[in-house]
Structure 1
Amino acid sequence: MKKVIVACGGAVATSTVAANKIRAILKENNINADVQQCRVSELSTKASDADLIVTTAKVDRDYGVPVIHGIAFISGVGLEKTKAQILETLQ
């Protein structure tokens, strides 16, 4: 099973929207994954066993895990490209 961490500033609003959309995309594509939410400030302790990090906030740090900027799940701009990146990373 893959592990995806969805992070935002407060781990409430934008990460919830993004996480729900990511779960739907993964289900549609038969990818078994555990999608968890956290604050960006918690990534350093949670990233080590993740396969992918999706953030709705700016992240410059290298966690040794692929990081995809997921603001498209909020704005709608570039959504298909973001979906494709997530699927490519997890397949």
Structure 2
Amino acid sequence: MKKVIVACGGAVATSTVAANKIRELAKREGIPVEVSQCRVNELDSKKDGIDLIVTTAKVRKDYGVPVIHGVAFVSGINIAATEQNILNVLKQ
């Protein structure tokens, strides 16, 4: 099972939208996934054992795992490319 953290800058509204889209994507592709949510400032303490970080806020730090900017799930722009990037990581 792949583990994904979806992180946002403040509240949890945008990460909830992105997390739900990732769950739907993984289900559609038959990929077992566990998706959790947090704030960006919590990533350091929650990154252990994670396969992918998707953020809806700007993140420049290297957490030692792939980080994908997931604002497309909120804006509706470039969703297909973002989904493909996520699938590329989840299928590894």
Q: After TM superposition, is the score higher than 0.5?
A: yes
Q: Output the CA distance in 2 between the equivalents of 1:25 and 1:2.
A: 13
CA gap 1:30/1:11 in 2 versus in 1, 3 angstroms: farther
Offset at 1:10? 2.5
Unaligned regions of 5+ residues in structure 1, if any?
none
The answer on whether the counterparts of 1:51 and 1:66 sit within 8 Å (CA) in structure 2 is: yes
TM-score w.r.t. length of structure 1: 0.97
Query: Structure 1 residue runs of 4+, over 6 Å off?
Result: none
TM-score w.r.t. length of structure 2: 0.96
Offset at 1:11? 4.6
How many residue pairs are counted as aligned between the two chains? 91
1:85 is aligned to 2:80: no
Q: Output the CA distance in 2 between the equivalents of 1:60 and 1:54.
A: 12
Q: Output the CA distance in 1 between the equivalents of 2:51 and 2:83.
A: 15
Percent identity reads 65
Unaligned regions of 5+ residues in structure 2, if any?
none
CA RMSD of aligned residues (A): 0.7
